[in-house]
Amino acid sequence: MKKNYLLTPGPTPLPPQVCEALAKPIIHHRTPQFQAILKEAVEGLKYVFQTKSEVFILSSSGTGAMEAAVANLLTSGDSAIIIEGGKFGERWTELCQAYGIKSEVIKVAWGKVFNIDELKDRLKSGQTKAVFATLCETSTGVDFDIKAIAQAVKNSAAVLVVDAISGLGVVDLKTDEWGVDVVVSGSQKGLMLPPGLGFISVSSEKAWKLINQSRSPRYYFDLRLAKKAWEQTDTPFTTSVSLVVALNAALKMVKDEGLENVFKRCGKLAQGVRMAAKALGLKLFADEGCSSRAITAVNVPAGVDGEKLVKTMRDVYGITIAGGQAELKGKAFRIASMGYLHEFDIILALSCLEKVLHQMGYKFELGSGLKAAQEVFLIEN
Ligand SMILES: *Cc1c(COP(=O)(O)O)cnc(C)c1O
């Protein structure tokens, strides 16, 4: 017998409430019944996005919402700055290239703290139309200081666009208070749903102005259509009805727990993973000053085959964590602390990690990682 557990940075485990909602009979999307559901979903999203402005629901994965941001805000030849500190920062660069945007890439060493001064300097040219950043860089386990970035961008003509696909509902992002113009996210990470929904908030006049001016080709992801439809509590095309129904179940859970408490819970889980890794003599990939609440990347110790470690945990013991991406392939593993996860899920994953590390010949005191995590979880608040 094998039980399966998911501790990956998307998809994340589904709560029973979400599964139950997904099992409901389908209803038609152009009905008052569904309009009420859609309204509730958008209200709930506004709470999680921490904005009073529109949040649009797209039938796509998170990358669709990223593409919507680029296609709607910019036109070929426009200049944009991309803060790129990992695999997902690179996605902004690739998207901008696809749309012919003149991209200035600020390379941040993977796992290192971002120095805001470089952004401030680059913004001085006054040519930048948009700055693209990432709340949680899932590939490296780094959270970016979006508040500081927003502060810098606010004093320029540019809009700030944040990829909060893995960070939303895990890492604090005060969209309105900090002045973040556009935020994109997806359903399968902090929001505890299957993949399939993309979200995008537009919270400033500055951003709407760009959207109305853009001459980039767009059709399915045209936010002008989404805005117009929303005036009638509608979507321009058939939406993912069942996922939206399930979204309300997930958003209700977030609301019941309280966003601040969700942040705290995830932060504590990440802290447990970090302390366990250190106790096991392992090195964390990200610097302490920027380590993420949503995901922890741990370096694979010398002499251990990182890919085999992850594969054994998954295929032999049913515990799925993530390996390293791109340049971290085989060199790191990543344990998520987002969505429907609890301290004992982390304990379970750590116990499996210890077992497999031990089997692979890595020398450490069995139980020392678990003990360190337990000590973190014993602390109230
Ligand atoms: C998962 C992820 C994406 C990609 O989202 P998809 O839903 O796979 O399209 C983009 N950015 C970040 C930070 C992510 O974690």
Structure tokens belonging to residue 50: 């921490």
88 lines ligand 1 (CB under 6 A): yes
Q: Per DSSP, which regions of 74-196 are E strands?
A: 79-84, 102-107, 128-134, 136-137, 142-143, 159-163, 182-186
Mutate to test the pocket of ligand 1, among 92, 138, 243 (most ligand atoms within 8 A of CB): 138
Nearest to 180 by CA among 253, 130, 225: 130
| Residue 189 and residue 266 in contact, taking contact as beta carbons nearer than 8 Å | no
Residue type, 159: V
The contacts of residue 98 (CB under 8 Å, 6+ apart) are 70
Atom index in ligand 1 nearest the CA of residue 10 equals 1
| Residue 295 and residue 336 in contact, taking contact as beta carbons nearer than 8 Å | yes
292 lines ligand 1 (CB under 6 A): no
| Residue 58 and residue 235 in contact, taking contact as beta carbons nearer than 8 Å | no
Average pLDDT over residues 31-55: 98
Average pLDDT over residues 279-296: 98
Query: Which domains does the chain show, CATH number per domain?
Result: 5-10+257-377 (3.90.1150.10), 16-256 (3.40.640.10)
Q: Token match 């408490």: residue?
A: 261
In this structure, the chain runs to a length of: 381
Distance 120 CA to ligand 1 centre (A): 27
Distance 376 CA to ligand 1 centre (A): 29
pLDDT in tens, 192-214: 999 999 999 999 999 999 999 99
Q: Token match 């660069």: residue?
A: 93
Mutate to test the pocket of ligand 1, among 166, 197, 199 (most ligand atoms within 8 A of CB): 166
8 lines ligand 1 (CB under 6 A): no
In this structure, what DSSP letter does residue 126 have?
S
380: confidence class by pLDDT, cuts 50, 70, 90? confident
For residue 323, the cross-strand partners are: 333
63 lines ligand 1 (CB under 6 A): yes
Mutate to test the pocket of ligand 1, among 165, 170, 171, 240 (most ligand atoms within 8 A of CB): 165
pLDDT at residue number 381? 67
Distance 62 CA to ligand 1 centre (A): 5
| Residue 152 and residue 243 in contact, taking contact as beta carbons nearer than 8 Å | no
Distance 88 CA to ligand 1 centre (A): 7
166 lines ligand 1 (CB under 6 A): yes
For residue 84, the cross-strand partners are: 107
* 109 has a pLDDT exceeding 70: yes
C-beta neighbour count of 208 within 10 angstroms: 20
Helix axis angle, 223-230 to 205-213, nearest 10°: 120
Average pLDDT over residues 329-348: 98
pLDDT at residue number 1? 81
pLDDT at residue number 324? 97
Q: Please, what is the average pLDDT of the chain?
A: 97
pLDDT at residue number 2? 83
Atom index in ligand 1 nearest the CA of residue 66 equals 10
Q: What is the CA radius of gyration of the chain?
A: 21
Q: Which helix (H) or strand (E) holds 308?
A: helix 306-315
186 lines ligand 1 (CB under 6 A): yes
Q: Per DSSP, which regions of 254-318 are E strands?
A: 295-299
Atom index in ligand 1 nearest the CA of residue 198 equals 7
25: preceding bond cis by omega (within 30 degrees): no
141 lines ligand 1 (CB under 6 A): no
Average pLDDT over residues 85-90: 98
61 lines ligand 1 (CB under 6 A): yes
Distance 57 CA to ligand 1 centre (A): 16
168: confidence class by pLDDT, cuts 50, 70, 90? very high
Average pLDDT over residues 215-222: 97
Mutate to test the pocket of ligand 1, among 82, 92, 132, 163 (most ligand atoms within 8 A of CB): 163
Average pLDDT over residues 173-186: 98
